[in-house]
Homo-oligomer: A and B are copies of this chain.
Amino acid sequence: MRRKSFEDIECGIAQALERIGDPWTLLIVREVLLGTSTFEELRDHLGIARNTLAARLRSLTAAGILERHEHLRDGRRTRYRPTESGRELLLVLATLQQWGNKWAYGDRGAPTTMVERRSQKPIAPIELRNQNGRRLRLRDVTLRPGPAASPALLRRFELSREQGSDAP
């Protein structure tokens, strides 16, 4: 079945997933953020099929997450580098790693860990906080209409509040 496009869903999560929801996509971003830059290296490191990798690199470039750089001195080899929006996916990858290391590997321990380069110490646990620094849990947060909510979305917020739910 063809996947429905998420473009119509007014939600930053849906828009992020529309661009990077595919599992291979985020693993390719992880590789590029770590410094892997050519098609062949990406293929070798990930064990991904050529056509799958080519399609994902096209999507990532079209979405402005990666940029193609042609290196003339380097036998015209194309290298992929992250844009600013690509570099900011580091935070998404770090929270995914934190969750996966805890819930997939648990007490057996994690195979890889993200560290500060200089100190070689693990990064601090990533947490949700309010603007005064207080730690927030699920029950402490909710969604509200943002500055650009459409009338239809505002109506859904209204309706769900009447039904006692937080989901617009």
Measured CB to CB, the residues of A under 8 A from B are: 1, 3-4, 6, 9-19, 21-24, 26-27, 30-31, 33-36, 41, 45-49, 51-52, 64, 82, 85, 87-105, 108-124, 126-131, 133, 136-150, 153, 164-168
Copies in the complex: 2
Given contacts A26-B13, A95-B91, A96-B12, contact A48 B4 (CB under 8 A): yes
Chain B residue with the shortest CB-CB distance to A119 = B130
Q: Which residues of B contact A131 (CB under 8 A)?
A: 116, 121-124
Q: Are A99 and B22 in contact (CB under 8 A)?
A: no
**How far is it, in angstroms, between the C-alpha of A103 and the C-alpha of B46 when the chains are bound?**
26
Residues of B within 8 A of A109 (CB): 146-148
Task: Establish whether residues B130 and A123, one from each chain, have CB atoms under 8 Å apart when the complex forms.
Answer: yes
Establish whether residues B123 and A128, one from each chain, have CB atoms under 8 Å apart when the complex forms: yes
